[in-house]
Amino acid sequence: MEGSIKFSMMKRLRNGIIGDNAKRISLAFIILWLGLSSLFSNPSYSEKGIHKMNILLVPVGEIDKKVIERLQSDLGKIFNKEVEAGQGMSNPDYAYNKKRNQYLSTAILKTLMEQKEYMAYGKVLGVVDQDLYVPELNFVFGEAGQKAAVISLTRLRQEFYRLPQNQTLYYKRALTEAVHELGHTYGLGHCRNPQCVMFFSNSLMDTDRKGSEFCLECNRKIPGEK
């Protein structure tokens, strides 16, 4: 886990002040790499099934189909794997925290891993359009374990910050977050190269700058067939 913003700031951030105060607020947050190895390291998950190496994309709740299609196509090229789009799961009401008006990402991650039909896949990526959190941070863009990851689209839209819609930027951010979190599931930690997708994003500005590509060093660490 990496830095945090105190929970008390959340309301201000949610009210759109994030843009104005970006320089004053040390946004140490975002992409969360929790050591959930004990939870997701059961070897039986990947022992059988023809999908062993494939990545499964799972829309959790109502998700724009275009985002899933684009992620499916682009992640396939980046990771050189088959990417399948799974059937959607219902809105993760079980993860909702009324006080925070946010969803606990760890609970969604756990639910993804409890689906028996997903066990044959190499990796599972849940895509949520709800604002995610973990208790220590005011929000997260995503969270990853060894087998599964989850990303949220909510804070990737310009409209969230009361800025004009920008679909290109929105898709690019979604891909960047997806690659980053999947990168963690392949064992990659954060990278010091600010142009690398595994660089820790301190803000969306970092996310936009670094883009969705691995640096050469990180690229080499992706197991197998890259």
Distance CA 22, CA 204 (A): 10
Q: Is 191 in the site for Zn ion (CB under 5 A)?
A: yes
Among 199, 173, 160, 172, which Cα is nearest to 33's? Answer: 199
CA-atom Rg of the chain in angstroms = 16
Please pick, among 181, 213, 217, 225, the residue that the annotation labels catalytic: 181
Q: Is 178 in the site for Zn ion (CB under 5 A)?
A: no
Place of tokens 């969803």: 103
193, 203, 211, 221: residue in contact with Zn ion (rule CB under 5 A): 193
Contacts of 1 by beta carbon, 8 Å cutoff, 6+ apart: 32, 33, 34, 134, 136, 137
The sign of the dihedral angle between the CA atoms of 205, 211, 217, 219 is positive
In eight-state DSSP terms, residue 58 is E
Q: Is 67 in the site for Zn ion (CB under 5 A)?
A: no
Active site residue 181: yes
For residue 83, the minimal CB distance to Zn ion (Å) is 20
Q: Is 215 in the site for Zn ion (CB under 5 A)?
A: yes
For residue 128, the minimal CB distance to Zn ion (Å) is 17
Residue 189: is it exposed, middle or buried by C-beta count within 10 angstroms (0-12/13-18/19+)?
exposed
For residue 31, the minimal CB distance to Zn ion (Å) is 3
58, 83, 137, 196: residue in contact with Zn ion (rule CB under 5 A): 196
Span from 78-86, 108-116, 169-177, 215-223 in contact with Zn ion (CB under 5 A): 215-223
Q: Is 33 in the site for Zn ion (CB under 5 A)?
A: yes
Q: Is 34 in the site for Zn ion (CB under 5 A)?
A: no
71, 112, 124, 198: residue in contact with Zn ion (rule CB under 5 A): 198
Span from 5-13, 25-33, 130-138, 162-170 in contact with Zn ion (CB under 5 A): 25-33
Q: Is 140 in the site for Zn ion (CB under 5 A)?
A: no
Calculated CA dihedral for residues 116, 112, 38, 45, nearest 10 degrees? 30
Residue 8 neighbours by CB distance under 10 Å: 8
Distance CA 22, CA 18 (A): 5
Span from 87-95, 155-163, 166-174, 218-226 in contact with Zn ion (CB under 5 A): 218-226
Question: What are the catalytic residues?
Answer: 181
Could you list the residues that contact Zn ion (CB under 5 A)? 31, 33, 191, 193, 196, 198, 215, 218
